[in-house]
C-alpha cells in the first residue's frame, strides 16, 4: 500500500471512530472491537481501490451501524 493510501486510511479510521463514539456511549471493550473491525474493513476498501477519505468514512460508519444491528455492538 502506498503512503498516500495509508494516510487516507488512517485518517478515515480516526474520523469513523471519533464520530461513532460521539454518537454512541461505548464501553472500552466495544470501542476496541469496533476499531478492529473498521480497520479491517477500511483496509479491504483501500486495497480494493477506494482512496476517497469521505467515502471511506461513510462506508466505515455504515459498517459499524450494520455491526451494531447484527451483533449488538453497543449492548
What is the pTM for the complete model shown?
0.87
Distance CA 45, CA 26 (A): 25
Helix (H, G, I), strand (E, B) or coil at 49: coil
Render each residue's pLDDT in the chain as its tens digit; 75 residues.
Answer: 678 889 999 999 999 999 998 888 878 888 899 999 999 999 999 999 999 999 999 999 999 999 888 887 665
Q: For residue 64, which of 34, 19, 21, 32 has the smallest C-alpha distance?
A: 34
- What's the grid cell of residue 17? 471512530
**Domain boundaries along the sequence of the chain:** 3-71
- What's the grid cell of residue 57? 468514512
Q: What is the pLDDT of residue 40?
A: 96
Q: What is the pLDDT of residue 74?
A: 61
Amino acid at each position: 500500500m502506498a503512503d498516500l493510501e495509508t494516510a487516507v486510511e488512517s485518517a478515515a479510521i480516526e474520523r469513523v471512530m471519533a464520530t461513532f463514539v460521539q454518537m454512541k456511549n461505548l464501553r472500552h471493550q466495544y470501542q476496541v472491537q469496533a476499531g478492529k473491525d473498521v480497520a479491517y474493513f477500511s483496509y479491504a476498501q483501500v486495497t480494493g481501490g477506494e482512496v476517497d477519505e469521505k467515502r471511506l468514512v461513510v462506508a466505515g460508519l455504515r459498517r459499524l451501524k450494520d455491526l451494531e444491528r447484527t451483533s449488538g455492538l453497543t449492548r
